[in-house]
Amino acid sequence: MRIKVIGSSVDGSRCQFAASYLFNDYLAIDAGSIGFMSVAAQKRVKHIVLSHSHLDHIASLPIFVDNVYEPRPESVVVYGMPSVIASLQANLFNDLVWPDVVRLSQEESPFIEFVAIENLRPIQLGDLLLTPVALDHVVPTFGFIVDDGVSAAVLVSDTGPTELIWEHASRTARLKCVMLESAFPDSMTWLAEKTKHLTPALMQLEFDKLEHPARHDIKLLVVHIKPAYYEEVTAELNALKLPNLQISEPNGEYEI
């Protein structure tokens, strides 16, 4: 499985300003910056799955829809929990911030199709089996287990301390990679608690919840570091001296 952390900077910054991840080029989880990839790369994306409604995870979705639109019977499919789909329709595709693509899709060739997903109900997207698992964030949020039959990855972001996804990740036989957030430095644990994010110390406690027979061979790929605290967080992550920890790079590609 090929995983790509989509970059979100226009001047080569190492920071991740918005969140989106590509699996085997055709499945995007979150849409923070997919609309800023090359048009060819955007046209390869067939499915977009949204973790939650926060702006850093949906920011480029309207741009993406505009970039890939062609008048034909099929359109890009966007998956999210019902409250996320409702929020997009009320707050984004509302004829004010962006045209109401749902109404336009009924009148013209479709621009977008929304499909509701449910906690712990897997969906098959091409070769990838995707299982949404509820996390613990300030708004309802899914993490995801992505399995192609050879290897599997779990994306745990955005979240504060959580339980359910570790139970399921621990039972995922082919698990090769845990993508885990570490938003704030340890000195801002108070803000991480209020906003339901993790710090390096909290992240380590989360990773310790993984009870997997191959745990020592599983890559821990850190994502979603708040740019304002990038240096502090990365210093704290490196100080943990976890052997398989890797801090993700914008446009970094990871083969598992």
Task: From 148, 255, 161, select the one nearest 208 (Cα to Cα).
Answer: 161
Q: Of 54-62, 101-109, 115-123, 147-155, which part binds Zn ion (CB under 5 A)?
A: 54-62
Query: Whose structure tokens read 């698990």?
Result: 175
Least distance (Å) between residue 253 CB and Zn ion: 21
Q: Segment contacting Zn ion (CB under 5 A): 83-91, 157-165, 205-213, 214-222?
A: 157-165
Find the shortest distance in angstroms from Cβ 52 to Zn ion: 6
What does the block give as tokens for 3? 């995983």
125: closest CA among 104, 144, 109? 144
The amino acid that residue 18 corresponds to is A
Applying CB under 5 A, which part among 50-58, 61-69, 71-79, 103-111 lies near Zn ion? 50-58
Q: Mapping DSSP to helix (H, G, I), strand (E, B) and coil, where does residue 1 land? A: coil
Q: Cβ closer to Zn ion: 77 or 138?
A: 138
Sheet holding 245-247, edge to edge: 123-125, 128-134, 142-147, 152-156, 175-181, 219-223, 245-247
- Applying CB under 5 A, the span of 56-64, 67-75, 162-170, 171-179 interacting with Zn ion comes to 56-64
Smallest distance from the beta carbon of 182 to Zn ion, in angstroms? 12
Query: From the CB of 70, what's the least distance to Zn ion, in Å?
Result: 31
**4 vs 176, beta carbon nearer Zn ion:** 4
Count of residues in contact with Zn ion, rule CB under 5 A: 3
Whether 137 and 101 have beta carbons less than 8 Å apart is answered as: no
Q: To the nearest whole angstrom, how small is the minimum distance from the Cβ of residue 240 to Zn ion?
A: 22
Return the range that interacts with Zn ion (CB under 5 A); candidates 37-45, 100-108, 151-159, 185-193. 151-159
Among 5, 23, 49, 54, binds Zn ion (CB under 5 A): 54
Minimum distance from CB of 140 to Zn ion (Å)? 11
- In angstroms, what is the minimal distance from the CB of 160 to Zn ion? 10
Question: Could you tell me if residue 126 is left (phi over 0), alpha (psi between -120 and 50 degrees) or otherwise beta?
Answer: left
Residue 80, classed as helix, strand or coil, is strand
User: What does the DSSP assignment read for 59-72?
Assistant: TTHHHHHHHH--SS
Work out whether 30 is an interface residue with Zn ion (CB under 5 A): no
Cβ pair 59, 95 in contact under 8 A? no
Q: For residues 84 and 101, which CB has a smaller minimum distance to Zn ion in the complex? A: 84
Q: Strand, helix or coil at 164?
A: helix
Among residues 30, 56, 148, 236, the one that binds Zn ion under rule CB under 5 A: 56
Q: 47 or 57: whose CB is closer to Zn ion? A: 57
Written as six digits, the tokens of 136 are 């613990």
Cβ proximity of 51 and 157 under 8 Å: yes
158 contributes a contact to Zn ion by CB under 5 A: yes
Report the alpha-carbon distance of residue 49 to residue 250 in Å, rounded.
Answer: 20
Q: Could you list the residues that contact Zn ion (CB under 5 A)?
A: 54, 56, 158
